[in-house]
């Protein structure tokens, strides 16, 4: 089936540094999402993105977070500066249409902030 | 408040047994998706089932939207079915929103 790719699979950085997580969504999809899962805890929605704009964000999407997809390339999640509580697995997802469509998930990027 | 409730929280099966996992929602939804999460964390989409009954191999999902519930039936369980099963829903709205996940049902299948 359609595949979402995420790069890197693991990232270790020092607190206060900037990190960019990359997502290569399904090629013809139009809606993009980021989710966060702290080890052993519930998967939680962060943000969704369509037509170059953030459509909805949760309270977990702090001011230090930003998303973009310049010129149809990777859909990115940038955290600047990082904090210890940002350590988690971040999953990217995409879907073709709104409201009535399956979301396809990537394998996740495990972020460790030291 | 947990908008997506899953039951049971955990389930132990002997290989070959069937299982029924339940999911209920506190608000109306028009989109339900079932996932399997491997012990290492990788998420696998099992079934997208906004309404009615859908089957994929040994898995059958039934969603009754007006009753705000969905179920996942696993037939003839195998050891490789062990892992966490997550139910997720998307709130009814006028643009694609994020999925809200339940806490999951942890399934352990033994020989």
pLDDT tens column, B47-92? 999 899 999 999 999 999 899 999 999 999 999 999 999 999 987 7
Question: Considering chain B, what percentage of its residues have pLDDT values greater than 90?
Answer: 77
Q: Do A100 and B31 touch (CB under 8 A)?
A: yes
Q: A37 in a domain, yes or no?
A: yes
Res B64: pLDDT: 95
Pairing relation of β-strands A88-95 and A75-79?
unpaired
Res B96: pLDDT: 59
Mean pLDDT of B21-33: 91
Q: pLDDT tens digits, residue range A16-73?
A: 999 999 999 998 899 999 999 998 899 999 999 998 999 999 999 999 999 999 877 8
Burial call B26-53: b when 16+ CB within 10 Å, e when fewer: eeebebbbbbbbeeeeebebbbbbbeee
Q: Which chain B residues touch A108 with a CB distance below 8 Å? A: 41-43
Q: Do A43 and B41 touch (CB under 8 A)?
A: no
- A102 closest CB neighbour out of B43, B48, B86: B48
Q: pLDDT tens digits, residue range A100-113?
A: 688 999 999 999 99
For chain A, how many structural domains are there in total? 1
Residue A74 domain boundaries: 14-23+30-92
Q: A70 in a domain, yes or no?
A: yes
Question: Considering chain B, what percentage of its residues have pLDDT values greater than 70?
Answer: 95
List Cβ<8 Å contacts ≥24 apart for B78-84.
B78/B15, B78/B109, B79/B15, B79/B109, B79/B110, B79/B111, B80/B109, B81/B13, B81/B107, B81/B109, B82/B39, B82/B107, B82/B108, B82/B109, B83/B36, B83/B37, B83/B38, B83/B39, B83/B107, B84/B36, B84/B37
CATH number of the domain that residue A56 is part of? 2.60.40.10
Query: DSSP code of A39?
Result: T
Cβ count near B83 (within 10 Å)? 20
Closest residue in chain A to residue B34, using alpha carbons only? A102
Q: A39 in a domain, yes or no?
A: yes
Q: Which chain B residues touch A33 with a CB distance below 8 Å? A: 98-99
Q: A106 in a domain, yes or no?
A: no
Specify the CATH superfamily of domain B4-110. Immunoglobulins (2.60.40.10)
Q: Which chain B residues touch A105 with a CB distance below 8 Å? A: 35, 43, 45
Work out the minimum CA distance from B20 to partner chain A, whole angstroms.
21
Res A2: pLDDT: 83
Cβ count near B88 (within 10 Å)? 25
Closest residue in chain A to residue B95, using alpha carbons only? A98
- B33 closest CB neighbour out of A37, A56, A102: A102
Q: Inform me whether the C-beta atom of residue B97 falls under 8 Å from chain A C-beta atoms.
A: yes
Count Cβ–Cβ pairs < 8 Å, chain A vs chain B: 69
Res A99: pLDDT: 63
């Amino acid at each position: 089936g359609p595949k979402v790719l995420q790069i890197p699979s693991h990232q270790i950085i020092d607190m206060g540094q900037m990190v960019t997580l990359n997502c290569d969504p399904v090629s013809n999809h139009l809606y993009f999402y980021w989710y966060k899962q702290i080890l052993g805890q519930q998967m939680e929605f962060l943000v969704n993105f369509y037509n170059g704009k953030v459509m909805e964000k949760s309270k977990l999407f702090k001011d230090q977070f930003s998303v973009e997809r310049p010129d149809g390339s990777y859909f990115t999640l940038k955290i600047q500066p990082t904090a210890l509580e940002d350590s988690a697995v971040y999953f990217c997802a995409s879907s073709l249409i709104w409201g009535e469509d399956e979301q396809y998930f990537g394998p996740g990027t495990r972020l460790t902030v030291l | 408040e947990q908008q997506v409730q899953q039951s049971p929280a955990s389930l132990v099966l002997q290989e070959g047994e069937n299982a029924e996992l339940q999911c209920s929602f506190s608000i109306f939804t028009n989109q339900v998706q079932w996932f399997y999460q491997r012990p290492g964390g990788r998420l696998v989409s099992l079934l997208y089932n906004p309404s009615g009954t859908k089957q994929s191999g040994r898995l059958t999902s039934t969603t009754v939207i007006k009753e705000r519930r969905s179920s996942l039936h696993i037939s003839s369980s195998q050891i490789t079915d062990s892992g966490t099963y997550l139910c997720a829903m998307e709130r009814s709205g006028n643009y694609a929103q994020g999925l809200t996940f339940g806490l999951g049902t942890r399934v352990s299948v033994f020989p």
